[in-house]
Amino acid sequence: MQIRDQRIKEKYFIDDAYLNGYAKYCGVNATAVYNSLCRHANKKQECFPSMEKIAEQHGISRRSVLRAVKELQKRNIISVEKVRGIGGKYLNNLYKLLDKSQWKLIPSDLESHGSMCQKSSSPCDKNDTNHVTVSHTKDTHIKDTHIRKKNNFRNIALKAYKKELKKNI
């Protein structure tokens, strides 16, 4: 585990990789839950807020929190351990924020986005026109930081379509 935050808890961090890609696959409720877990996490990247507390923070139902936790678990973004008390009674869940190197996209994500999300175990050829790299930056306020660096057919077609719309207006 890597430690993300050693400051006094006036602020919290969320991985850019989550917001730059995984948030759109996980959905709004899972993103809200992940924010809560990041906010409550200690230096070991562990926390144990109740589902009711998370639901209250975001104005969603307990059931929505449960579904969001399952979604985050499925993508290996968090792990959940049920903690028992002295008498063997379940007390609460211990949530562990996993390092982004362990996160995964599920096969349906890869199918729905085709060649843009191909996984490869070998380095890509720099002259490969189908290879898409995503720019990750802390300067999210700068215009167009979310745009892919290489132009592929889809980006070219989108630019041409936008030009055509401007001409017609």
91: domain CATH number is 1.10.10.10
pTM: predicted TM-score of the whole model, two decimal places: 0.59
pLDDT band at 8 (very low <50, low <70, confident <90, very high): low
**Do 108 and 53 share a structural domain?**
yes
The answer to whether residues 82 and 142 belong to one domain is no
Q: What is the pLDDT of residues 67-95, one digit of tens each?
A: 999 999 999 999 999 887 777 777 788 99
Q: What is the pLDDT of residue 78?
A: 95
Say what the pLDDT of residue 166 is: 72
Do residues 75 and 129 both lie within one domain? no
| Final residue before a domain boundary, out of 72, 93, 115 | 115
Q: How do residues 89-148 score in pLDDT, each as one tens digit?
A: 777 889 999 998 898 876 666 555 544 444 444 455 555 444 444 545 555 555 555 555
Which residue did the predictor score with more confidence, 91 or 27? 27
Strands 90-97 and 78-84: antiparallel
- pLDDT tens per residue, range 31-59: 999 999 999 998 899 999 999 999 999 99
| Same domain, residue pair 84 and 18 | yes
Which of 78, 93, 115 marks a domain boundary? 115
Q: Could you tell me if 22 and 74 lie in one domain?
A: yes
Number of structural domains, the chain? 2
> What is the residue range of 149's domain?
120-169
Residue 68: CB atoms within 10 Å:
26
Q: Are residues 145 and 69 in the same domain?
A: no
Rounded Cα gap, residues 28 and 167, in angstroms? 36
Say if residue 76 is in the same domain as residue 104: yes
